[in-house]
Structure 1
Amino acid sequence: MTSTLTPEQPTSTAEPVFAGQKSATETFLVKLFAVVPFLALIAAVPLAWGWGLGWVDIGLAALFYSLTCLGVTVGFHRHFTHGAFKANRGLRVGLAVAGSMAMQGPVIGWVADHRRHHAYADREGDPHSPWRYGTSPAALAKGFWHAHMGWMFEREKTNPKRFAPDLLADRDIVAVDRLFPLLTVATLLAPAVLGGLITMSWWGALTAFFWASLVRVAVLHHVTWSVNSICHLVGDRPFEARDKATNFWPLAILSMGESWHNTHHADPTGARHGVLRGQIDISARLIWVFEKLGWATKVRWPKPERLAKLARTPDPRSA
């Protein structure tokens, strides 16, 4: 079963927005998964200076970063949330697994949160708008923290019955959603196991765990969270959108094309976000490969005529 809901279509409005509150255990785990990799990231620079960073660590970190980041960008975001393309069963399950290994939460909850974000973007109800507290410097500083990380520590849970009923009806995706704890263990231990086997040493396993597990997860977390925070505050807005989403080029490669955020909010179901000359969008290129292989169909590539209608009229005062 493929995703059919988009931000431009009504969700199950008979259902409430929230589905109760996170339990104390859930709240603790969110903080644990957010803070521990971040502490590893803080320690990374002095540790790299003195010891323990080799080509095996770099290679494994790059491999797992690419796999899990694309699982989020192509899978969780463009496919499951927005239905930018249809995927065969194998690809659909594979994307759900890869995205889950990014440690950003189970697939159904992730999609429900993101659909709620689009439904209320930069308005009351948006789970992570940096404009939540106002426009003064102090309010925006507080809003930046909220959009970047703070929103995850709140107790309210987005109701998947309202925002992701299609995924709740998909047995494959429900199964992957339930396997999130196991996939979390796998994404942390797999680099260590590979590092140990490649170097045939416990030291290789330890350094791979630090760099390709903890630091890799932390970097990906903050790149993803920066799309929520920075890409609603700083950057260009070449297309008309109902919110303050921006295109922020410095994050384009690390985010696999997600930082062309204004373009995405102007055309949410589009499979390509980097639509202008020179805008690198690795996620869109991977979708193109999947389409050529026959694994992805009905890809919603942006149409020039639609983009022309969405283009903002230049301010004559800037000429």
Structure 2
Amino acid sequence: MSPSTVSASAKKAPPQPMLDGKKPRFEFLIVHAFVLIPMLALAAAVPLAWGWGLSWLDAGLAVCFYFLSGFGITAGFHRYFTHRAFKANRGLRNALAIAGSLALQGDVLTWVADHRRHHAFTDKEGDPHSPWLFGTTPAAVARGFWHSHMGWTFNRDRTNVARFAPDLLADRDISRIARQFPLWTVVSLLSPALLGGLITMTWWGALTAFFWAGLVRVAVLHHVTWSVNSICHIVGDRPWTHRDRSTNVWPLAIASMGESWHNLHHADPTCARHGVERGQLDMTARLIWMFEKLGWAHDVRWPTPKRLARLRASAQT
């Protein structure tokens, strides 16, 4: 078949549907477990920390695993796999896919498909987690906040990966890592316990490390990531684009590793740096800069004066 024939056939192919049926009941129950069990651990964290059960080792392990899995989401699942803000060698690409899987926010294929769908239909019908789908009254916004923050994770509709992430679906390494998501879930939760037990040489050290660096760490990272979906589409500054409701929310900058400079991101989704103004801390961009200096990443789409000037001009029109 000639290239022209292939091209003509591709043009005639019907567009892929946005959704790909319903999640199986077992998968739906697993999602509930991933969301609710860490949340219950987070609710129990305050009384546990008040009198007992939290050591400096637990805190150190929690911080390390928080940033390991968090950067896997921000630099990996988001800026690299979803938006191709840079190119990575095979080792870094696979490492980012595994690190992001440790966040327990779903496998890389599902995460990327959902997020690309979010950008395709931002704050409109079809957006999987917009807070503005139910209206603008106080009651509607309250309902929308719940939906955008975590309610959407309980929706059984499955985003069509073949439509929104065909490039990753065709990547053997990434598809394999996505299929191994149950394994990375076990690694994410039990690695802190193993380290805590070996360092303290006690079962109690393993248990508290599992609780703080496993369950509580996952819950905190969940809510920070979801806050970009919810808070960063409801309140904050909108200096770069007004075509949707995305905002910049500076108090979340450190916890989100730079993701809360969300308005710039929606104005220029492929930009490797989201916090481009003076004082806008973006740790993920610094990590990508380090990858570039080490030779692991290249063709990084950094913000340039010309690029930013074009965005400013667009924001003023």
- Report the TM range for the smaller structure's normalisation: over 0.9
- 2:42 and 2:139 map into 1 onto residues whose CA distance is 27
Count the aligned residue pairs: 303
Residues 256-279 of structure 1, C-alpha deviations (whole Å, 9 max, x = no match):
000000010000000000000000
Q: How does 1:137-156 map to 2 (within 5 A)?
A: 137-156=138-157
Amino acid corresponding to residue 177 of structure 1 in structure 2: A
Q: What is the deviation of 1:242? A: 2.1
Question: Structure 1: where are the runs of 5+ without partners?
Answer: 1-11, 315-319
CA distance in 2, matches of 1:66, 1:241: 31
> How far apart, CA to CA, are the structure 1 residues paired with 2:210 and 2:54?
11
Q: Residues 192 and 208 of structure 1 are in contact (CA less than 8 Å); yes or no, is this contact kept in structure 2?
A: yes
Give the secondary-structure state (helix, strand or coil) at the position aligned to 2:280.
coil
Secondary structure at the aligned position of 1:157 is classed as strand
The aligned counterpart of 1:118 is 119
Q: Could you tell me how far apart the structure 1 residues matched to 2:184 and 2:14 are?
A: 32
Match of 2:194 in 1: 193
Q: Distance in 2 between matches of 1:202 and 1:152?
A: 34
Question: 1: distance between equivalents of 2:129 and 2:241?
Answer: 21
Counterpart in the other structure of 1:243: 244
Report the secondary structure of 1:94's partner residue: helix
- Secondary structure at the aligned position of 2:20 is classed as strand
Equivalent residue number for residue 224 of structure 1: 225
TM-score relative to the length of structure 2: 0.94
Q: Distance in 2 between matches of 1:175 and 1:150?
A: 29
Shift of 1:13: 7.0
Deviations 1:197-220 (A, max 9, x none): 111111100100110000000000
SS at match of 2:158: strand
Counterpart of 2:44 in structure 1: which amino acid?
A
CA distance in 1, matches of 2:40, 2:107: 23
Q: Which has the higher helix share?
A: 2
Measured after TM superposition, the shift of residue 151 of structure 1 is 0.7
1:19 counterpart SS class: strand
Tell me, what secondary structure is at the counterpart of 1:217?
Answer: helix
Residue 164 of structure 1 corresponds to 165
Q: Supply the RMSD in Å over aligned alpha carbons.
A: 1.1
| Counterpart amino acid of residue 148 in structure 2 | A
Matches within 5 A, 1:125-144: 125-144=126-145
CA distance in structure 2 between the partners assigned to 1:242 and 1:271 by the alignment: 21
Q: Distance in 1 between matches of 2:302 and 2:48?
A: 44
Q: The residue matched to 1:228 in structure 2 has which SS?
A: helix
CA shift for structure 1 position 241: 4.3
Distance 1:221 1:240 in 2: 26
C-alpha contact (below 8 Å) 1:21/1:156 kept by paired residues? yes
CA deviations on 1:60-110 (whole Å, 9 max, x unpaired) are: 000000000000000000000000000000000000000001000000000
The match for 2:234 is: 233
Residue in structure 2 matched with residue 78 of structure 1 by the alignment = 79
Partner deviation per Cα, 1:140-194 (whole Å, 9 max, x = no partner) = 0000000001111111100000000000100000010011000001100000000
Q: Which amino acid aligns with 1:235?
A: G
Find the residue that maps to 1:197 and give its secondary structure: helix
Report the counterpart of residue 211 of structure 1 in structure 2.
212
Tell me, in whole angstroms, the C-alpha distance in 2 between the residues paired with 1:23 and 1:70.
29
Displacement of 1:313 after TM fit? Answer: 3.6
Q: Distance in 1 between matches of 2:53 and 2:309?
A: 51
Q: 1:116 to 1:304 in 2, by over 3 A?
A: same
Residue 268 of structure 2 corresponds to 267
**Runs of 4+ in structure 1 over 3 Å off:** none
Give the AA of the match of 2:202. Answer: S
Residues in 2 aligned to 1:138 and 1:241: alpha-carbon distance in whole angstroms: 24
Q: Distance in 2 between matches of 1:313 and 1:95?
A: 37
Identity of aligned residues (%): 69
